[in-house]
Amino acid sequence: MKKLQNYIDGKYQDPLCGQFIDNIEPATGKVYSYIPDSDEQDVEVAVNAAEKAFPIWSKMSTEERSQILVRLSEGIQNRMDEFVQAESRDNGKPVTLAAHVDIPRAVSNFHFFATAITHFSSESHYMEGLGLNYTLRKPIGIVGCISPWNLPLYLFSWKIAPALAAGNCVIAKPSEITPYTAYLLGEVAKEAGLPDGVLNILHGLGHRVGDAIIKHPKIKAISFTGGTKTGEYIARTAAPMFKKLSLELGGKNPVIIFADCDFDEMLSTTIRSSFANQGQICLCGSRILVERSIYDKFKEAFVSKVEKSVVSYPSDPKANLGAVVSEPHMEKILSYIELAKEEGGTILTGGERVILDAPYQDGYYIRPTVIEGLAYNCRTNQEEIFGPVVTIAPFDTEEEALMMANSTQYGLQTTLWTSDLKRAHRVADEAQSGIVWINSWLVRDLRTPFGGVKASGVGREGGLEALRFFTEAKNVFVKY
Ligand code: NDP
C-alpha cells in the first residue's frame, strides 16, 4: 500500500519518527494508503530549509516568481485527471464535483495569484510642502498554512498561492484526512522550478504537527481554515507570540427566501447550496427561512427535488451526493439528526445512513435531510453540523427573517432571494456576515474579500486582501 511522504527542501522524505497513520477511503471505509505522522522534528527541518530558501525566493524578481507559479498552475492542469481522482477518493466527493470545482479552482488559485502579484502596488502619501510617505510591502518570511478536509486542494492552494506570490516561504499542512492532492503538489512544484525549501508540505495530526507549526517561533504568520474551536485554540496560542493571524472558521449560514423571488431559479440553486459536497462547504446554507405565503409551496417542491437526489459512490456519474468524509464525521451528523428529533423537529425526508451495495457497503453515506418545526434558537439551528442536513422555517416579516438569520454566533455568508431591489440592498446591509449572495450562490470572483464575522473568523482572504496579509507594510517618510 502506498506510503505518502512529506515534501521538505524539495525532497520527499519519511517523518523522522518513522510513524505513519492510516488514510481511509470514505467511499468504502477501507484504509488505502498511509501518511506521515509528522511532529515538531519535521517542522524544525522544514523551517531550516525555508530559512535557507527565503533570501533566494524573496529577492527573486516578481516576474520570475510569477512565471514559476504560472507553471505550477499549468502543472496541475496537465495532470487534471490524476488530481481529480485523488481528491474524490480521499474525500468521498463525486468525481464530477472534483472535476468541475475542486481541481479547476486550485489551478485558478495559482494562476490568479501568479498574475495578481504583478499588479500589486503599494501606496504613497504626499504631505504638501513637507515631504512624501511611501509604503513598502515586504514578504513576512516563513509562514504557516493549515487547511481542512472539505475542499482539500482548493483551500490549500487558496493560502499557499498568495503566500508564495508575495515572496514568503511556506510550511503547509493539509488535513490528515485528505492528504493526497497536497502530496502530489510537491511533484508539481518541483517540476515548475520552485526552488527547494520555498514550499514544504508536512502531513500528520493537527494536535501534533499542526501544533508544532503554530508554536514555532520562526513561523511569523498563520493562515488557518477550519473549525471555530481549533481557530480559538490557535488564536490563544499564536497571538501572545505576536504572529499575524488569518482565521477562516465555521458557519451556520442562513438562506432567506422572499415570496417575490424567481421561484424556479431559487429552488434549483437552494438544492445546491444545501447539499453540494454533501453539505460540507463552509458556504452551504443550512437554515432556510421562507416567507410564510410560499412556505408550503416551497416545502413540497424542495422535498420532492431532494428526494430525487442520488446518493452513490463517488465515481458513479449519476451521484449528486457521495460519501461524507469520515466515520466520526458521519456519526456527528447522525447525532445532530437525533438531536433535531429530540428538540421537536420533524424529518421531512432523509434522516438516515445509506448502505450501498458491495464494495461500498461500509462507506459513509447519508441521505440528504430536511427538517422542519424547530425553534430558531435551538441547538440544531445554532450549531454547525457541516453535513447534508438543512432546516426550513417560515417567517412573516423582513425584521423577523433578519432576526433569525443573525441569531447565531457565526457570520460567514447570507443568501438572499428576492426581486425587490430596495429590499435586497437593505437586507444585505443588515446581514451579519462577511459575504452576501443575492439571487445566487457560490459565485466567486477571486478578487473579492473572503471571510466571516463573529465566530466565523478574523481577517479576509482573496485578492489584494491576501497579498496584504502575507506582506508587512513599512512606511518610509522623505523630508523635502
Ligand atoms: P479542524 O479545525 O478540525 O481542522 C482544520 C485543520 O487544522 C486540519 O488540518 C487539522 O488537522 C488542523 N488542526 C487541528 N487541530 C490543530 C491544532 N491544535 N493546531 C494546529 N492545527 C490543527 O476543521 P476540519 O478539518 O474538521 O474542517 C471543517 C471546519 O472547517 C468546519 O467548521 C468548516 O466550517 C470550516 N471551514 C471554514 C471555511 C471558511 O472559509 N471559513 C472553509 C472550509 C471549512 P487534522 O485534520 O489532523 O485535525
The β-bridge relationship of strands 253-257 and 285-291 is parallel
Question: Tell me: the pLDDT tens digits for 409-447?
Answer: 999 999 999 999 999 999 999 999 999 999 999 999 999
Question: Is 412 in contact with 282 (CB distance < 8 Å)?
Answer: yes
Distance 178 CA to ligand 1 centre (A): 11
pLDDT value of position 124: 96
Question: In the predicted model, what is the mean pLDDT of the chain?
Answer: 98
Closest atom of ligand 1 to CA, residue 329: 26
pLDDT value of position 305: 98
**Does ligand 1 come within 6 angstroms of the Cβ of 140?**
no
**Does ligand 1 come within 6 angstroms of the Cβ of 433?**
no
Asked, for residue 450, whether it belongs to a domain, the answer is: no
Q: Do 265 and 196 fall into the same domain? A: no
Distance 422 CA to ligand 1 centre (A): 38
Question: Is 451 in contact with 248 (CB distance < 8 Å)?
Answer: yes
Q: Do 244 and 260 fall into the same domain? A: no
The β-bridge partners of 13 are 6
**Does ligand 1 come within 6 angstroms of the Cβ of 286?**
no
CA contacts within 13 A on the Cβ side of 237 = 19
Q: What is the mean pLDDT of residues 366-390?
A: 98
Question: Tell me: the pLDDT tens digits for 303-361?
Answer: 999 999 999 999 999 999 999 999 999 999 999 999 999 999 999 999 999 999 999 99
* Catalytic pick among 25, 176, 248, 461: 248
Q: Do 320 and 380 fall into the same domain? A: yes
**Residue 289 banded pLDDT, cuts 50, 70, 90:** very high
* Catalytic pick among 145, 261, 282, 284: 282
Question: Is 22 in contact with 3 (CB distance < 8 Å)?
Answer: no
Asked, for residue 307, whether it belongs to a domain, the answer is: yes
Q: Do 16 and 106 fall into the same domain? A: yes
pLDDT value of position 460: 96
**Residue 300 banded pLDDT, cuts 50, 70, 90:** very high
The closest residue, in CA terms, to atom 48 on ligand 1 is: 206
Asked, for residue 405, whether it belongs to a domain, the answer is: yes
pLDDT value of position 207: 97
Reading the block at residue 51, the C-alpha cell is 530559512
**Residue 215 banded pLDDT, cuts 50, 70, 90:** very high
Question: Tell me: the pLDDT tens digits for 37-82?
Answer: 999 999 999 999 999 999 999 999 999 999 999 999 999 999 999 9
Helices (H), 98-179: 103-119, 152-165
pLDDT value of position 152: 98
Q: What is the mean pLDDT of residues 461-476?
A: 97
The alpha carbon torsion through 137, 143, 149, 154 (nearest 10 deg) reads 30
**Residue 219 banded pLDDT, cuts 50, 70, 90:** very high
206 by Cβ neighbours in 10 Å (0-12 / 13-18 / 19+) ranks as buried
Q: What is the mean pLDDT of residues 232-242?
A: 97
The β-bridge partners of 417 are 257
From residue 456, give the alpha-carbon distance in Å to each of 17, 289, 428: 35, 20, 17
pLDDT value of position 36: 98
Distance 469 CA to ligand 1 centre (A): 20
Q: Do 302 and 167 fall into the same domain? A: no
Q: What is the mean pLDDT of residues 208-222?
A: 98
Which CATH number is 58's domain given?
A: 3.40.605.10
**Residue 457 banded pLDDT, cuts 50, 70, 90:** very high
Q: Do 297 and 198 fall into the same domain? A: no
Q: Is 248 a catalytic residue?
A: yes
**Residue 84 banded pLDDT, cuts 50, 70, 90:** very high
Count: domains in the chain: 2
The β-bridge relationship of strands 30-36 and 20-25 is antiparallel
Domain that holds residue 139: 2-249+456-479
Distance 433 CA to ligand 1 centre (A): 20
Q: Is 400 a catalytic residue?
A: no
Q: Do 440 and 356 fall into the same domain? A: yes
**Does ligand 1 come within 6 angstroms of the Cβ of 258?**
no
